[in-house]
Chain A
Amino acid sequence: KAGVTQTPRYLIKTRGQQVTLSCSPISGHRSVSWYQQTPGQGLQFLFEYFSETQRNKGNFPGRFSGRQFSNSRSEMNVSTLELGDSALYLCASSLRRGGAANTEAFFGQGTRLTVV
């Protein structure tokens, strides 16, 4: 079956712009989580969506938002981009919420966002 698909793979934006990233989870998976990966910070949790509702949120400013559609596809939006937002953004899908019930998450290849 198809894996987790993230689009686009690479993106260059300028400060102040906004960006929307997309994630299509594995078929049948209802949970989509978003992570930011930067050198030295590991994978920082942004938020998780399950059944179109945000279930958990990390410690990121309100400029970071997301949503999930009825087909479980999720989008992440970052407004008023800052240089520090340059990172690899990963999404993960899983059957259940937040890694509950011992299920591992399956990750997409990520979107590399560069803010100049």
Chain B
Amino acid sequence: DQQVKQNSPSLSVQEGRISILNCDYTNSMFDYFLWYKKYPAEGPTFLISISSIKDKNEDGRFTVFLNKSAKHLSLHIVPSQPGDSAVYFCAAIDQGAQKLVFGQGTRLTINP
């Protein structure tokens, strides 16, 4: 039962363009969402988060959008840079159950 889904296993984007990574969730009890970035041979590192009371959070080139009615969130990276090439994991927190649940990840490749 995959409560957090990233339906695109991979995404390829030209350098300088916008990268959009998508994530869907099924559990309406999730109230906080995070994105993690993972390079090979390293653990995931926290990138950006958003509370369910907001619909947008921006941090430099990274913006996360949350659409609660659609149970969908997305991560926008603009402009995309070669160093952004990594696997991105979407995660959700159910604070009541105190659980952190991850999606399957999307491998982003930025082409020069």
Binding site for B on A (CB under 8 A): 4, 6, 33, 35, 40-45, 55-56, 90, 92, 97-102, 104-110
Contact = CB atoms under 8 A, between A and B. Distances in A.
B93 A100 contact: yes
Interface string B67-104: 00000000000000000000001010101011111111
Given A42-B6, A42-B103, A43-B89, A98 B46 contact: no
A73 B40 CA distance: 25
A43 B93 contact: no
B43 A104 contact: no
Contact of B104 (A42, A100, A105, A109): A42
Nearest to A112: B41
Contacts of A40: 9, 104
Contacts, number: 70
Given A45-B102, A92-B43, A99-B32, 8 more contacts: A4-B43, A35-B102, A45-B100, A55-B98, A98-B93, A99-B100, A101-B95, A102-B32
Nearest to B99: A98
A6 B51 CA distance: 30
Contacts of B93: 98-100, 102
Interface residues of B, number: 26
Of the candidates A4, A6, A45, A105, the one having the most CB atoms from chain B within 10 angstroms of its own CB is A105
B26 to A, nearest CB: 15
A87 to B, nearest CB: 13
Contact of A45 (B43, B46, B99): B99
Given A35-B102, A42-B89, A56-B98, A102 B49 contact: yes
